[in-house]
Amino acid sequence: MGMIYTTEGVSTSTITATGDVTSVPARVLSMYIIGEATAGSVVLKDSSGGATLATINTPAGATLTQNIDFGSEGLNFKVKPTATQTNIASVFFVIG
């Protein structure tokens, strides 16, 4: 079995409905999206009324998945990352 390495300060969060990814400022490093039968989207904002930092559209197909990597610096949310989900089963976030 290989070793698993983690980086200090990196955590995860899973949401199944529109809401806060975390309650504090953070960088979203990556996302793993599980879609639904109808095409959908995930919109990432810096708080519920803040600026939109990313919109990810998903194809139609129950249980189709997408892995989105934002690079080593990630997307920087100065207030808190909030996700609006449309036709999405769940989103797993890696945050730092």
* Between residues 57 and 2, the one the model is more confident about: 57
Model confidence band, residue 91 (pLDDT cutoffs 50, 70, 90): very high
Number of Cβ within 10 Å of residue 49's Cβ equals 8
Q: What is the pLDDT of residues 47-81, one digit of tens each?
A: 999 999 999 999 998 889 999 999 989 999 999 99
CA atoms 24, 26, 29, 31: torsion sign? positive
Q: What is the pLDDT of residue 5?
A: 55
- pTM of the shown model: 0.88
pLDDT of amino acid 62: 85
Q: How far apart are CA 8 and CA 73, in angstroms?
A: 14
User: Nearest to residue 48, comparing CAs of 90, 96, 85?
Assistant: 85
Q: Model confidence at 17, in pLDDT bands (50, 70, 90)?
A: very high
